[in-house]
Structure 1
Amino acid sequence: MRTRTKAWVGLLLIGGFGLFLTSCDKAKDPEPADENELITTVSLTFTEQGGGSPQTFTFRDPDGDGGQAPTRFDNISLKANTTYTLTIALLDESKSPAKNLTTEVQEKRDEHLFVYTATPATLLTYTYGDRDSRNFPVGLTGTARTGAVGTGKLNVRLRHQPPVNGVAVKNGTVAPGSDDVNINFNLTVN
């Protein structure tokens, strides 16, 4: 009887030790998801190259997507046939004090891409002024060149493109990842 008990105890110890070793294998644990940030405020600052005062246009939605309507949504008005330096600032104002997400995007620039698209395309073209560590565009700063007089939209998207299973997916295109921001400003070029 004792031999049988010892055998069972031995098997339990071996099985338990094997289970312990398997549960400690970190390579099999999935990586935690790199979640999208809550961005409540987006400010675009256009500064005319060669002089001129900066103009800032802001979108503010304090409770984030859904819920209440945005409390501020400026219309962008720019001069025709003019070159501007464009910078963007992001905040999460649902926290107190507000969290500066521009800094976070800068720190994680290998995982983020801003895309600026004017409709119609003749209203404004954008050229990236910053790059990540793999030489892909980021879009925290760049050059915006307006075209002829007209009205339309300026779509501003921030693509969140974190690595998948430890492999970088950002490739300089809009395809990988998901939207942190996707808003349409009214745009007037006059």
Structure 2
Amino acid sequence: MVSTYGNRLASLMGVLVIGGLLAGSCKKGTDPLPADENELITTVSLRFTQGSNTQTFIYQDKDGDGGAAPTKFDNVTLTANQSYTMTVDLVDESKTPAQSITDEIREKQDEHLFVFTPTPATLLTYTYADKDTRNFPIGLTGTVQTGAAGTGQLNVRLRHQPPINGAPVKNGTATPGSDDVNLNFNVTVR
């Protein structure tokens, strides 16, 4: 009777071990998933202010990526060797009424980072004026210092960097996350 009990116990243990291995192998993917999805942004406005003068340059694609071509993509024109305050405004016009994504970026500032890259690098420099709760830059507002007269591009990227498995990933660089926005504005400095 002891050997029958022992055989049943060994069989039960084998089933539990195999079941545990099978259950563990049924996980969907091994990559951790971010807590939320990218924002839909149909309009990006760059506002350059110098004293009482404000210039606004707009990218607009009301149906988002794919589909119809953008309806507006302004060229940026700035004065050489000048300092501007630059603010960014984002809108999702696929909804009625249109939704301010700028407000969402402020609310989720620990999950977003704008990256501004001029080409050539001497065209202008950007300095962040806003920080998130962990003291990393955001980029909704900053200072642009233009260089000598010339032409080129300003790449505007909004990196979406939500926590993974509850742990923050934003580290002040563009590396973690994915793009909410990635646009190349043509720039003339004169």
Superposed pair shares fold, TM > 0.5: yes
Q: How does 1:112-127 map to 2 (within 5 A)?
A: 112-127=112-127
Q: Does 1:152 align with 2:152?
A: yes
The one of 40, 52, 58 equivalent to 2:42 is 40
Q: How does 1:103-182 map to 2 (within 5 A)?
A: 103-182=103-182
What does residue 17 of structure 1 align with? Answer: none
Q: 1:155 & 1:135 partners in 2: Cα distance? A: 23
Question: Which one-letter code corresponds to 1:34 in the other structure?
Answer: D
Q: RMSD between aligned alpha carbons?
A: 1.2
Q: 1:58 & 1:129 partners in 2: Cα distance? A: 21
Q: 1:31 & 1:113 partners in 2: Cα distance? A: 19
How far does the alpha carbon of each residue in 1:25-82 deviate from its partner, in whole angstroms, 9 at most, with x for none? xxxxx8774000110000000001xx24100000000010111100000000000000
Q: Does 1:69 align with 2:69?
A: yes
How far does the alpha carbon of each residue in 1:147-187 deviate from its partner, in whole angstroms, 9 at most, with x for none? 00000000000000000000000000000000000000000
How far does the alpha carbon of each residue in 1:115-167 deviate from its partner, in whole angstroms, 9 at most, with x for none? 01110010110000000000000000000000000000000000000000000
Classify 1:148/1:65 alpha carbon distance in 2 versus 1 (closer, same or farther; 3 Å).
same
Classify 1:131/1:32 alpha carbon distance in 2 versus 1 (closer, same or farther; 3 Å).
closer
What does residue 23 of structure 1 align with? Answer: none
What does residue 5 of structure 1 align with? Answer: none
Q: Could you list the runs of 5+ residues in structure 1 that have no partner in the other structure?
A: 1-29
**TM-score for the superposition, normalised by structure 1:** 0.82
How far does the alpha carbon of each residue in 1:88-137 deviate from its partner, in whole angstroms, 9 at most, with x for none? 00000011100000000001000000001110010110000000000000
Question: Which one-letter code corresponds to 2:94 in the other structure?
Answer: S
- SS of the residue 1:162 aligns to: coil
**Preserved contact between residue 34 and residue 164 of structure 2 (Cα < 8 Å):** no
Identity within the alignment, %: 70
